[in-house]
Structure formats: C-alpha cells, structure tokens
Structure 1
Amino acid sequence: MEYLEFELPIKELEDQLQKCKVIGEESEVDVTETCAQIALKLKEAQKNIYKNLTAWQRVQMSRHPDRPYTLDYIKALCGESFLELHGDRSFKDDKAMIGGLGKIGDQSYMFIGQQKGYNTKTRQYRNFGMANPEGYRKALRLMKSAEKFGIPVVTLLDTPGAYPGLEAEERGQGEAIARNILEMARLKVPIITIVVGEGASGGALGIGVGDRVLMLENTWYSVISPESCSSILWRSWEYKEQAAEALKLTAIDMKKLKLVDEIIKEPLGGAHRNREKTFLAVRNAISKSFDQLKNLSPKDLVSQRMEKYTQMGVYKG
C-alpha cells in the first residue's frame, strides 16, 4: 500500500507492529504486551491524523492511487448484472466516460461515470478520466434511454476535468457539457449523483446535476483544482494548500454551503483502506436516495430539481 506524506507516522508504526509480530513468531520471546502498546499508538495516530485533515490533504486522499474507481463501485454494486453500453452514435466511444445498465437488488439503474486508469497503459487508454465531447454525448444518450424506459440514473463523479485539448474544443466540448446540464435539469427520472473522487470543474458538472447529490468523505468538488487556482492567483503551484482552503471544496464545506445533500462516511484512513465497507455505504446511500424519490411524479421530480438549483448561491435582482 502506498502512503501519502502526512501518513508516514502511521506507516512507521505499522512497520514496527509487523516487525514485533515477526519477532514473536520466530522466537520464544513474549511480545504480546509490546505489540498491544504499538497497536494502541497506531490507533491513536490514525485517529489524530484522519480526523484533522486539511482541505489539501483531502484532495490528496481523493487522488490516492489505491482508491476505488467508478468501475470498482459498479462491479461491487451490480456484480454480473452490469451491461456496459458504448458510443455516442455520432463520433466514437469515449473510454474516459463509461455507462450501462445494472441492478442493485431487484432495482435497475443506469450507471454513468468517469473512469481513471490503474497504471500508465490504462491511464492513457482512459485519458486520465478526462472525457471528450463524445463522452458527454454518450452519457446524455444513456440518460435519455433511461428516461424512455423509466429507469433511475446514478452518476459517479471522478475526474480532474473535461479534456482541454484543441480537438475537444473543435468538436464542441463546452456545448456538450452545457447540453447535459440543461437536459439533466429536466430529465423525468430520478438522478442520484455521487462524488467518489475528484469533482473538478464543468467536467464533473456535465454529469453532476442530480435530485440527490452526495459526496464521499474524502473527496472534493470545485470549479477549479487547487493547483490551477494557485497558478492563476499566485503564478505558482506552490500555494495549492492555501488555494484548497480558500476554495471550500471539501465535502464538509459543500454540505455547509448546501450544495450537496449528504456526506457518505468513509472507513478510517479512506475508501481504499476498507473497500467492502465503502461499497456497502455507497449501496445503502443509493437505495436510501431512490426510496425518497421513487414515488414522485415526473412533474414533481423536475420541479423539485429546478427549485433545488435555483436556490443555490446568493444574488441581487
């Protein structure tokens, strides 16, 4: 397992505990009490570090290489029932944006989300989770199909942003994202949105308009990344920590600002420390959210969604 810089004290204690156990197994020395003392120190260190994370440290947690990605969640939630659907019926199939039908229990859902890679080869294949216009058009096609058959939509957000390349702009990146925001606002089926990693800029918002918007505890959601914000304001990436604090991008900040509806608690140490527990928490959150929405008529669903977003922010007429 990889450790972030602020997790190094935990790594040291875990290494000490492992060595202590090995000594006990390979010799006749009774190390039970010593191991218990180290384990207690380890537990206290974990509690002190993870309960007092800064905004920048939460950004780092959201990017942890061992953290589960969108396909991990879908496979854990749906098992063999997931059927991936491809293509935007116009240009090509965007590998950074995945979607398809799956079941949680007896309920069918249309799952859509950005997918990152696990190593250099798959990261290039998935374009680092940065979708092109065809990705957003594929997502919209799947949402419209879900609407036609009365299937609720679940979107999973994990992207550093939409792909900023010249070819993406030539094919209408801005229009594709704007179209998705418009169409999601008036989609006649329930939409449940969950930020499972990075929620950056319009790239996330392009599939992020939902009746229920939830965030995992160690994720972030913002108009811009801390590094990019730092480079604009200070002409340097060195101030990314100050930028992260100023952007109010953590789940706690977003809940206080009433921009998200709920925070899904992660296991101590992050989603990657106990994947099964994280998957169960996400499954329960989806089922709970759907139970709150399933009896609403399409008209009420759209009306409440519109009302939810028009109430966000402060403005003067």
Structure 2
Amino acid sequence: MHEEQKPDLKQSLDHMETLAEQQGSQEGLSSWDCVVRSRQQGRPGAKAYIDLICDSFMELHGDRLYGDDPAMIGGIGMVEGKAITFIGNRKGANFRENVLCNYGMSNPEGYRKALRLAKQAEKFGRPIVCFIDTPGAYPGLGAEERGIGEAIAQNLKVFSTLKTPILVFIIGEGGSGGALGIGVGDKLYMLEHAVYSVITPEGFASILLRDPSKAKEAAEAMKMTARHLKEFSVIHDIIPDRNAEETAALMKQTILRDLENLCSKPAQHLVRYRIKKIRGIGEVSGGKEWWQPLLGVFSKTESLR
C-alpha cells in the first residue's frame, strides 16, 4: 500500500510529536495512560539501563538449587570504579525475548537467584541496585509446586535485614508480590510514567468491581502512579521519564549520590531505618481521605453480594 499510494506521513508524525511533548509530563496523563506507557513495547528495561549505567557488567546465572530464570537478571557492574550488584526483572526487547523471559514474570528460581546475589553482595560489601518491571510473579503450576510464595516471602525477610545499602528503581510495571520480591530497600524511586500496585487494574476490576471493562476507573481509584505514591510517601522521589540515555544518566547520578551517603552509615543504622520505613508504609494521618475515590467507583457498580 505504501508503494502504491506513497502517503506523506510527515505532517501526522509532527502532530504526534507535538502531542507527546505537550503530554510528556505526568500531570497531563491519567492513571490509565501511565499504565499503558509502563507496558509499552520497546520501553527500556533493566538490561538496557544496566548497560547504560555501568562501565562494565558481568551477568551471573542460576540459583544453585533448580536452574536459571531469564526473567530475572543479576550480576556485578562497575560504576566509576565502584562494584555494585545489579538485580532486575527482564521482560525482553522483542516478541522472541518476551516469550523467553515470560514477559518479566519470574519463577521461584528467579527470586532465589536474586537472594543468592544479594547475600553475596552483603558478604563482599557491595551495595545493591534493583530494577523493577514486572506485572507480577508467574502464577503457573510449576511455580506453585516449587514454592513461589515462600521464595518471595524469604526475599522480603532477608532484604529487610541485609547489612548493605539497597536502592530500588521502578522502571515500568511494579505489580504485586513479583515487585516486592526485589523491592525492599533504603531508597525507592519511580520513573514518572511507571506504576506500582498490589494488583493490576484489570485484576482489581475483575475481582472487586466484577467488571473487567472498568480497568480505567480502577486505575484511577488505586492511586498507583508515581505522583500519587510520592504524596503517600511510599517512594522517595520521581525520576523524569525521558529517552533511555537521559533517564539512565539521571539514575546513575542518583545512585552515586545516595551510595556516597548510605555507604558511610553503620550497617546497623541502615537496617534499623529500613525496617522503620517499611513499617511506616500504610499509616494514614492528617485526614487524607485517600479512600474516597474507591467509594465513587463502587457506587457505580452492581452490588457485590
């Protein structure tokens, strides 16, 4: 069709670029828009950011128990002469890699690999940087048989008491226990178009609203965007979501700044304040009626008897 009609797409592309520039900040986007952007095919993943941030990177494989999970990447990277352990969810950059990496949904061996690398980092005094980008842990029969719930729970327990600095970046989807499995740290950051929630909007709509078509309303009610989570003090700060090189440069700057501060603190202090931060999540004070939007959504649905 292109050869026959030879359409001129420049005007349309210029218009789309103008709209993208106008809506580039999160203020101009709805919660559902952020969900869509966080899932966008071709969005830079953990491996892309690791390659841009590190001067060199050596990937490590296997959990020493069952096998290697390609949906979880981990290894040691050098950043301006400093050795850092990097761990992250990996979705893949194309359809073939998506299938190989199970669309970022890790099996138990992925979380056990992350745990092995985290303990290794603690042993050798290396800080840890985690990149989260997953709709959730894999809920398949094999994963359940090999103990996916226990693997995530063990990570939560151990990561909360590791005696080494941990930085966490949510770079896309941060879904359910799959995100929490590598999401415990001293500092938690989100890209401005990333999302972080206990369940997907589709799951929320199906289970609580009994209507999968209400995913957009569910996304608004769930307060899952970086802007909302910054207001609730769940995350420390928001990193602008630009092209891969600029975003990686901002993350690298944040990593070097935070590690300079955190590495100077005694390990016992790190653990104490990390646990204090974890326990502080979910406290409501000051009369913020965050639950009001939920009432509006429920009022538009059928009875949940």
Q: Could you say which TM-score interval applies, normalised by the shorter chain?
A: 0.7 to 0.9
The equivalent position to 1:49 in structure 2, one of 17, 20, 23, is 23
State whether structure 2 residue 132 is matched by structure 1 residue 163. Answer: no
Secondary structure of the corresponding residue to residue 132 of structure 2 = strand
How many residues are treated as equivalent by the alignment?
276
Instruction: Deviation per CA, 1:30-50: give whole Å up to 9, x if none.
Output: xxxxxxxx78x954x334433
Offset at 1:117?
1.8
The answer to whether residue 273 in structure 2 is matched with residue 304 in structure 1 is: yes
1:155 and 1:193 in contact (8 A); partners too: yes
Q: Give me the whole-angstrom Cα distance separating, in 2, the residues matched to 1:14 and 1:259.
A: 43
2:226 pairs with 1:251: yes
| 1:219-241: CA deviation from partner (whole Å, max 9, x where unpaired) | 00000011111111233321111
Distance (whole Å) between structure 2 residues aligned to residue 90 and residue 198 of structure 1: 28
Deviation at 1:142, TM superposition (A): 0.2
* Per-residue deviation, residues 220-270 of structure 1 (Å, max 9, x unmatched): 000001111111123332111111011100001111111011111122xxx
CA RMSD of aligned residues (A): 1.9
Larger radius of gyration: 1
Partner of 1:227: 202
Q: Does 1:113 align with 2:88?
A: yes
For 2:109 and 2:37, locate their aligned partners in 1 and report how far apart those are by CA, in whole Å.
29
The 1:315–1:102 alpha-carbon spacing in structure 2 relative to 1, beyond 3 Å, is same
Instruction: Please say if 1:131 is aligned against 2:106.
Output: yes
Unaligned runs of 5+ in 2: 1-7, 286-305
SS, match of residue 196 in structure 1: strand
Does 2:161 match 1:186?
A: yes
Preserved contact between residue 264 and residue 285 of structure 1 (Cα < 8 Å): no
Structure 1 unaligned spans of 5+ = 1-12, 19-37, 268-273
How far apart, CA to CA, are the structure 2 residues paired with 1:65 and 1:103?
A: 28
Please give the per-residue CA displacement for 1:10-53, whole angstroms capped at 9, x wherever unaligned: xxx983177xxxxxxxxxxxxxxxxxxx78x954x334433410
What TM-score results when the alignment is normalised by the length of structure 1? 0.83
Query: Match of 2:54, SS?
Result: helix
More helix by share: 1
Q: Does 1:62 align with 2:31?
A: no
Contact kept, 8 Å, 2:62 with 2:68, in 1: the verdict is: yes
**If the length of structure 2 is used for normalisation, what is the TM-score?**
0.86
**What's the secondary structure of 1:82's corresponding residue?**
strand
Asked if residue 205 in structure 1 is aligned to residue 174 in structure 2, the reply is no
The answer on whether the counterparts of 1:14 and 1:42 sit within 8 Å (CA) in structure 2 is: no
